[in-house]
Amino acid sequence: MRYETFCGGIFETNCYLIEAPGGPLLFDAPDGACDWLVSKGVTPKLLLLTHGHFDHVPDLAKIKRRFGCQLGCHADTAPMISDPDFFRRVGFELEIEPVEPDFFIAATASQDFLGMEMEVLEVPGHCPGSLCFFSHKDKLLIGGDVLFASGVGRWDLPGGDGDLLFRGIKEKLYPLGDEVTVLPGHGPPTTIGTERKTNPFVR
């Protein structure tokens, strides 16, 4: 599977563009992602969110408006992206244009996204509704802010829970197989095997 990465915003948030059989599929929408797509001449057909944190969604409204693509996310993500006060209530002064999702995604063994079969794993703890998208065929995991190279997502933001996060990584991600490549929300790609053997947080 071919994929491309764009990293944007002050939190250096990754988004991933995948060429699915039915068209370009984008995961997450950090600051600058819309201009990146325009400069590449790519029109995404579907945008999926790993979770609703403010660094993954700044260009959501812009991308949706410009390309008219569908937006899918977990039901718990909806208030984070549709209520402009959601993060302001907990002290973050943010100006992010609110967006309504087109459909909800829940954990499932297999779902077709633009002709690509993916397993959807729900791994909360970093935040509620945090999703990982796994292609068995390509041994590729779009992991969001759950598991990083030598790290894990922070669990001190609203709805975070460290124990829940560690357990989810151990019970849901590590069994996917050592050879699986993880494309995380921040930092470089890694593999399940590397993290299972060397991750300082979850081994």
By CB under 5 A, tell whether 72 contacts Zn ion.
no
Which span sits near Zn ion by CB under 5 A: 16-24, 25-33, 178-186, 195-203?
Answer: 178-186
| Binding mask of the shown chain, residues 4 to 33, with x at each position contacting Zn ion by CB under 5 A | ------------------------------
Of the two residues 65 and 154, which places its CB atom closer to Zn ion in the complex? 154
Residues 6+ apart with CB under 8 A from 82: 98, 99, 100, 101
Residues 6+ apart with CB under 8 A from 12: 186, 187
Give the residue carrying structure tokens 């124990």: 163
Quick one: which of 72, 174, 59, 70 has its CA closest to 123? 174
Residues 42-71 within binding reach of Zn ion (CB under 5 A): 53, 55
* ∠ Cα 65 68 69 (to 5°): 115
Give the residue carrying structure tokens 């993290």: 195
| Binding mask of the shown chain, residues 137 to 166, with x at each position contacting Zn ion by CB under 5 A | --------x---------------------
Residues 102-141 within binding reach of Zn ion (CB under 5 A): none
Which span sits near Zn ion by CB under 5 A: 18-26, 33-41, 87-95, 180-188?
Answer: 180-188
Side-chain half-sphere exposure of 14, counting CA atoms within 13 A:
18
Min dist. Cβ of residue 178 to Zn ion (A): 25
Of 24, 129, 185, 189, which one interacts with Zn ion (CB under 5 A)? 185
C-alpha–C-alpha distance, residues 75 and 42, integer Å:
28
By CB under 5 A, tell whether 76 contacts Zn ion.
no
The footprint of Zn ion (CB under 5 A) covers: 53, 55, 145, 185
